[in-house]
Every structure is written in C-alpha cells, then in structure tokens.
Amino acid sequence: MNDQNLKDAWAAFPTGVSIITSKDFHGECHGMTANSIMSFSIDPPLVLISVAKSRESNILIKKHRKFGLNILNSDQNEIANFYSAPSEKKIINKINWDLVKYNEVYLISNSLVKMACNVVKQYDHADHTLFIGSVFKLEVEKRKPLIWYDRKYAELV
Ligand SMILES: Cc1cc2nc3c(=O)[nH]c(=O)nc-3n(C[C@H](O)[C@H](O)[C@H](O)COP(=O)(O)O)c2cc1C
C-alpha cells in the first residue's frame, strides 16, 4: 500500500460536494471545497467535518468557532473549482454567486443545503482537525446534487 493506492481507493467512492465557509481576517467570506463531511447526530443536530491543518480554513475556523456547510447542486461545479484552489488564488473572484450572512456565517445562495454551525468540539490528529458543529440554521432545496467521483465532477442521471 502507498499514497497512490489510497488515493485510488477513495477515488472509487462517490460523494457529494460541499463548500465549508469561514470568515477571513478582513471579515470576508473564505471557502474551501470539502467532501470529508458527515452527519454526526440528528438529535442534537451535529455535523462532522475534517479539515487539513495546512488549510487556511483550519486557522479561520479555529479562530471564529463557526462555519457554514453548503452542499452544492449540480449547477455549482464552478464554485467547487474556485474554492478548491489554493488560498492565494481565491483573492480574485472571477465568477459571480450570491452569499448570504446568517449570524456571522456566510452561506452560498442556491445551494442544495445550507447549514450554519457553531464549533462545539475539535480534535487534532495527524495532519487533520475534526470539527463537530452544532447546526443552528438549516435550509434545504429540492435540486440534484453535484457528485465527486473518479477525481471529476459529475451529476446523477
Ligand atoms: C472534491 C474535493 C474535496 C475536498 N475535500 C477536502 C476535505 O474534506 N478536507 C480538506 O482539508 N481538504 C479538502 N479538499 C482540498 C481543499 O478544497 C483545498 O486544499 C483548498 O485549497 C483549501 O482551501 P484553503 O487552504 O483556502 O482553506 C478537497 C478538494 C476537492 C476538489
């Protein structure tokens, strides 16, 4: 087993695509494309996200103790591409999408699911941090999800 085998294994696992949003040091929206997300519990409403320590988002979420979780619809792959770029490339926003702010959490308009969360626990291990977020705002739309499979974006047929 090596890194490549492991990456190939995870490329065989289809997931949805989300953007985890945080607030940058100027109070602007910072985003990161993420698929290491899951429901932690329904009652209470908790989610779990895994963020590499090397990501700008890791620092920002630890600072503000809040994040937005936006599950993307099949029309939003441009947004996924934009937010998977390294932080320095995100300075110029070349495509347009609307953000709403709820209780200091940025949410991406038209997303399939929008959740605003407070960090209630964090666990650093190896090169990642697991954040457990308590959901205090939830909106769900009826649309098709964006899919990540075999290192490409796809949609359900
Ligand atoms: C489909 C997809 C899923 C990703 N999922 C995660 C993830 O769950 N956690 C993570 O730390 N990085 C993930 N990444 C990588 C980040 O999106 C990428 O490193 C981003 O540039 C981090 O942004 P930041 O450093 O500005 O916070 C994913 C990338 C893609 C394309």
CA distances from 129 to 54, 60, 124 (A): 10, 12, 4
Q: What is the dihedral of CA 107, 109, 112, 117, to 10 degrees?
A: 10
Domain that holds residue 144: 3-155
- Alpha-carbon distance of 156 to 48, in angstroms, equals 25
At 11-68, the pLDDT tens digits run 999 999 999 999 999 999 999 999 999 999 999 999 999 999 999 999 999 999 999 9
Check pocket membership of 52 for ligand 1, CB cut-off 6 A.
Answer: yes
Number of domains in the chain: 1
Q: Indicate which residue's Cα is closest to atom 20 of ligand 1.
A: 84
Which parts of the chain are beta strand (E)?
Answer: 15-16, 18-23, 29-34, 37-41, 46-52, 66-71, 99-102, 105-108, 113-125, 128-140, 146-149, 152-155
Position in ligand 1 atom list of the atom nearest CA 37: 8
Q: Indicate which residue's Cα is closest to atom 26 of ligand 1.
A: 87
Check pocket membership of 67 for ligand 1, CB cut-off 6 A.
Answer: no
- Ligand 1 geometric centre to CA of 58 (Å): 11
The whole-number pLDDT of residue 94 equals 57
Residue 95 has pLDDT above 70, yes or no: no
The whole-number pLDDT of residue 97 equals 83
Check pocket membership of 51 for ligand 1, CB cut-off 6 A.
Answer: yes
C-beta separation of 56 from 26 below 8 A: no
Check pocket membership of 72 for ligand 1, CB cut-off 6 A.
Answer: no
Q: Indicate which residue's Cα is closest to atom 19 of ligand 1.
A: 84
At 115-144, the pLDDT tens digits run 999 999 999 999 999 999 999 999 999 999
Residue 92 has pLDDT above 70, yes or no: no
- Ligand 1 geometric centre to CA of 29 (Å): 16
Global pTM value = 0.96
The CATH number that applies at residue 40 is: 2.30.110.10
